[in-house]
C-alpha cells in the first residue's frame, strides 16, 4: 500500500530559533528539533514529531503483544484507590513517590504509577475458572511518579507513557512458561529497534516476587550498573550481584573501613577491605576506597542497613549512650581478600586494630564483634576485568545503563491479598492465581535511543521508530514535480515493508542548506537531496549519516539503494 504524499509544510514543526548550548545533550536536541517541550518540572508536551516516534514504538509493541503473546488490550483508569494499595500492603512503601488526592467526599485516591492492584481486582471479579487461563492483558497508558529530582528529560520524569502486560496462570509451572514467552517477545521487540540490549537478572524491589529481569541500554548517563561476562550468559544488575572473590593479594597491611548503621539505629556496621591489591603473577595494582564498597553486597547480609548517615558512629552512640554496655551491637564484615588473621584480631579484641574509633571499646572482655563468617565473597564493587563468578574463563565488563523494560514473576504477591482466586483443576479448591507483570517504558525509549544514537550533527533514529524513515529535500527552484516523482517512484518500486518505509517531502519555503542541516538535527535515517546534480544529470544525492553513506544515485537505481539502506539500518 502506497501512502498519500506526506509534506512537512503541513506539519507543525517548531524547529529553529533555539541556539545549541555548549556540550549539547540529546534531550536538548529533542527540544531544538521540535519533538517536545517542557511544561513543568519532569512533565513534557509531545509535539507532532515526538508523537510520531511514540506512536511507532506503540505500534511495534502492540504487534508483539497481540501477535506473539495473544494478549488483549485494556485501558485502566489513571486514578487508583488508596484503599486498594493499603490492602495489597504496598501503600506506605512507595508513599513518598505518589501523587495523592481526595474527592469531595474525602475518598483517598492516587495517580497510578503502576496498576497491579487495579488489574488484580478487575480479574478477581471476573475470572473464576482455570479454563479461562492463561489470561494476558496489556495497556499503554500514562503513569505518574512524584520524582524527588526529575532529570535527563524523558528518562526520569514525573509523567510518562508505559506499556504494562499482566499475566494470570493457574499454576506455577504455567506462569514460568509464560514468563519465558514474554522474555522472548521482549528480545524480539528490542531486536527490531536494533538496540544492544542487556537483559540482566534483577531485584524485584517493591513489586514483589522472586524472579525478574531488566532490559538495559548501555549509556554513560544511566542510573544502573550492569555486569556482564564475555564468555557466558552471566548478566546481572550490580544491586544483586554476589561477586566471586577475585584472586587478589593485599599489597601491604593497610586496610580501609566503611561504616553504616541499621535503620533502627541498633547496630553499627563496619565493612573492612584492603586498600591496595595486586593480581597473582602481575605487577598491576588496584587501589580501593570507601566509594568502592558494594552497598548492595552489604545489604544482602544486613537488609536494614542505612547507608546514608554521614557519621554513623556518632548516631549509634547517641542512640545507645554508654557504648561499653552495647558492644554486642556491632557487626564487622570482612572482605575475603583480607587475611584470616585480621578477622582473628577482631574476634580477640586486639587493641592494635587500625582505624578503630577511640569512643568504642575494644578488648577481649568486651568483644565488639559479630564477624560475618559466611561463604567467601567480595564486599567491593565489581570492576571491568574482574573474574566471572559463574564460569572459570570469563572476564566481566561493568557499565552504566538505562533501564527500558522489566519483567516480573509476581507469584501470588497480589492475587492472594486481593482475592484473585480460581478453582484448581485437580482439587477444585480455590487457590490464588499466579501472576506476572511486564513493563516497557515507551517515553523512556524515546529519551534513551536519542541519547544512544545522537552525534554532533543531531539525532539519529532507528528506521522502525523514526518519525519518517526517509526525507526528500528538493531545491525549491525545481518546484514540486521532481520531489513528487521521486516519492512515487520509491513508494511504488520499493520492496521494504510499508510499515517501515515512511517517506516525507520537505517542501517548506526555506533555503536548501537550512533544510539539509535541519534534516540532520531531526535525525531522519535516510536523506534524499535533489540539488545541483539533479539539475545536471537527474541524479539524487543519498545520505545516511549513521552508515557513512553519501552517494549520487540515478532514478532507476534509487528504490534499490533505499531498500538496501532500510535493511542495513
Grid coordinates belonging to 45: 508536551
Lowest-confidence range among 207-216, 391-400, 414-423?
207-216
Nearest Cα residue to 199 out of 337, 345, 14, 406: 406
Q: What pLDDT score was predicted for residue 326? A: 46
Q: What pLDDT score was predicted for residue 359? A: 65
Lowest-confidence range among 45-54, 61-70, 238-247?
238-247
Label residue 501 exposed, middle or buried (CB < 10 Å: 0-12, 13-18, 19+). Answer: buried
Shared-domain flag, residues 73 and 142: yes
Q: What pLDDT score was predicted for residue 348? A: 72
Tell me, yes or no, whether 366 lies in a domain: no
Q: Would you place residue 347 in the very low, low, confident or very high pLDDT band (cuts 50, 70, 90)?
A: confident
Question: Could you list the residue range(s) of the whole structural domain that residue 130 is in?
Answer: 41-241+398-450
Tell me, yes or no, whether 147 lies in a domain: yes
Residue where a domain stops, chosen among 423, 450, 477:
450
Tell me, yes or no, whether 322 lies in a domain: yes
Name the phi and psi angles at 282, rounded to 5: -135, 155
For the stretch 523-559, pLDDT in tens is 999 999 999 999 899 999 999 999 999 999 999 999 9
Which residues, other chains included, contact 421 with Cβ-Cβ below 8 Å and sequence gap of 6+? 124, 415, 430, 431, 432, 433
Q: What pLDDT score was predicted for residue 368? A: 43
Tell me, yes or no, whether 159 lies in a domain: yes
Shared-domain flag, residues 113 and 156: yes
Nearest Cα residue to 220 out of 25, 32, 382, 407: 25
Q: What pLDDT score was predicted for residue 374? A: 52
Tell me, yes or no, whether 192 lies in a domain: yes
Tell me, yes or no, whether 358 lies in a domain: no
Shared-domain flag, residues 560 and 514: yes
Alpha carbon distance 416, 431 (integer Å): 8
pLDDT > 80? residue 245: no
Tell me, yes or no, whether 107 lies in a domain: yes
Shared-domain flag, residues 206 and 103: yes
Any idea what the CATH number is for the domain that residue 61 is in?
3.30.930.10
Q: What is the mean pLDDT of the chain?
A: 88
Q: How many domains does the chain have?
A: 3
Shared-domain flag, residues 57 and 196: yes
Shared-domain flag, residues 433 and 474: no
Any idea what the CATH number is for the domain that residue 540 is in?
3.40.50.800
Nearest Cα residue to 332 out of 294, 300, 302: 302
Highest mean pLDDT among 74-88, 319-333, 361-375, 379-393: 74-88
Residue predicted with more confidence, 322 or 28: 28
pLDDT > 50? residue 327: no
Shared-domain flag, residues 213 and 114: yes
Shared-domain flag, residues 123 and 207: yes
pLDDT > 80? residue 365: no
Tell me, yes or no, whether 371 lies in a domain: no
**Strand locations in 477-516, DSSP E?**
503-505
For the stretch 432-447, pLDDT in tens is 999 999 999 999 999 9
Shared-domain flag, residues 92 and 123: yes
Q: What are the distances in angstroms from CA 492 to CA 471, 499, 538?
A: 16, 14, 19
Q: What pLDDT score was predicted for residue 208? A: 60
Shared-domain flag, residues 116 and 237: yes
Shared-domain flag, residues 419 and 558: no
Q: What pLDDT score was predicted for residue 470? A: 97
Shared-domain flag, residues 446 and 469: no
Amino acid at each position: 500500500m502506497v501512502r498519500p504524499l506526506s509534506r512537512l509544510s503541513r506539519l507543525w514543526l517548531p524547529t529553529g530559533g533555539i541556539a545549541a548550548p555548549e556540550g549539547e545533550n540529546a534531550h536538548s536536541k529533542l527540544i531544538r528539533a521540535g519533538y517536545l517541550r517542557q511544561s513543568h518540572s519532569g512533565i513534557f508536551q509531545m509535539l507532532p514529531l515526538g508523537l510520531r516516534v511514540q506512536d511507532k514504538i506503540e505500534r511495534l509493541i502492540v504487534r508483539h503483544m497481540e501477535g506473539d503473546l495473544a494478549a488483549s488490550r485494556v485501558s485502566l483508569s489513571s486514578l487508583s484507590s488508596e484503599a486498594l494499595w493499603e490492602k495489597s500492603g504496598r501503600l506506605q512503601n512507595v508513599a513518598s513517590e505518589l501523587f495523592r488526592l481526595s474527592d469531595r467526599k474525602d475518598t483517598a485516591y492516587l495517580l497510578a504509577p503502576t496498576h497491579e492492584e487495579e488489574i488484580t481486582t478487575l480479574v478477581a471479579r471476573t475470572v473464576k475458572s482455570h479454563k479461562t487461563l492463561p489470561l494476558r492483558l496489556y495497556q499503554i497508558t500514562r503513569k505518574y511518579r512524584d520524582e524527588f529530582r526529575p532529570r535527563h528529560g524523558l528518562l526520569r520524569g514525573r509523567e510518562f507513557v508505559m506499556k504494562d502486560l499482566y499475566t494470570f496462570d493457574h499454576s506455577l509451572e504455567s506462569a514460568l512458561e509464560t514468563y519465558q514467552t514474554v522474555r522472548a517477545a521482549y528480545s524480539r521487540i528490542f531486536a527490531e529497534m536494533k538496540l544492544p540490549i542487556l537483559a540482566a537478572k534483577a531485584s524485584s524491589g517493591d513489586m514483589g516476587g522472586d524472579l525478574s529481569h531488566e532490559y538495559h541500554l548501555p549509556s554513560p548517563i544511566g542510573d544502573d550498573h550492569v555486569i556482564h561476562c564475555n564468555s557466558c550468559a552471566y548478566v546481572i544488575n550490580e544491586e544483586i550481584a554476589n561477586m566471586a572473590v577475585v584472586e587478589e593479594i593485599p599489597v601491604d597491611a593497610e586496610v580501609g573501613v566503611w561504616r553504616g548503621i541499621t535503620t533502627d539505629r541498633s547496630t553499627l556496621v563496619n565493612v573492612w577491605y584492603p586498600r591496595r591489591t595486586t593480581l597473582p603473577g602481575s605487577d598491576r595494582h588496584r587501589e580501593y576506597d570507601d566509594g568502592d564498597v558494594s552497598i548492595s553486597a552489604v545489604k544482602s547480609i544486613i537488609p536494614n542497613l542505612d547507608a546514608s548517615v554521614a557519621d554513623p558512629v556518632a548516631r549509634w552512640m547517641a542512640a545507645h549512650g554508654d557504648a561499653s554496655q552495647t558492644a554486642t551491637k556491632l557487626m564487622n564484615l570482612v572482605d575475603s581478600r583480607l587475611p584470616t588473621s585480621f578477622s582473628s584480631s577482631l574476634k580477640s579484641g586486639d587493641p592494635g586494630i587500625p582505624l578503630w574509633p577511640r569512643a568504642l571499646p575494644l578488648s577481649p572482655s568486651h568483644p565488639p564483634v559479630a564477624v560475618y563468617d559466611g561463604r567467601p565473597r567480595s564486599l567491593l564493587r565489581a570492576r571491568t576485568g574482574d573474574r566471572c563468578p559463574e564460569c572459570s574463563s570469563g572476564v566481566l565488563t561493568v557499565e552504566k545503563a538505562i533501564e527500558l523494560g522489566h519483567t516480573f514473576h509476581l507469584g501470588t504477591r497480589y492475587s492472594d491479598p486481593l482475592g484473585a482466586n480460581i478453582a484448581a483443576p485437580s482439587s477444585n479448591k480455590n487457590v490464588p492465581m499466579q501472576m506476572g507483570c511486564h513493563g516497557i517504558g515507551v517515553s523512556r525509549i524515546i529519551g534513551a535511543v536519542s541519547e544512544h544514537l545522537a552525534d554532533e550533527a543531531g539525532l539519529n533514529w532507528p528506521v522502525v521508530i523514526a518519525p519518517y524513515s526517509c526525507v526528500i529535500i528538493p531545491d525549491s527552484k525545481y518546484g514540486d514535480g521532481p520531489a513528487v516523482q521521486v516519492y512515487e517512484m520509491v513508494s511504488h518500486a520499493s520492496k521494504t515493508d510499508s510499515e517501515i518505509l515512511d517517506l516525507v517531502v520537505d517542501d517548506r519555503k526555506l533555503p536548501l542548506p537550512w533544510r539539509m542541516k535541519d534534516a540532520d538535527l531531526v535525525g531522519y535515517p535516510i536523506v534524499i537531496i535533489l540539488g545541483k546534480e539533479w539539475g545536471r544529470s537527474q541524479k539524487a544525492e543519498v545520505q545516511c549519516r549513521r552508515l557513512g553513506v553519501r552517494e549520487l544515485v540515478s532514478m532507476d537505481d534509487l528504490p534499490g539503494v533505499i531498500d538496501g539502506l532500510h535493511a542495513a539500518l
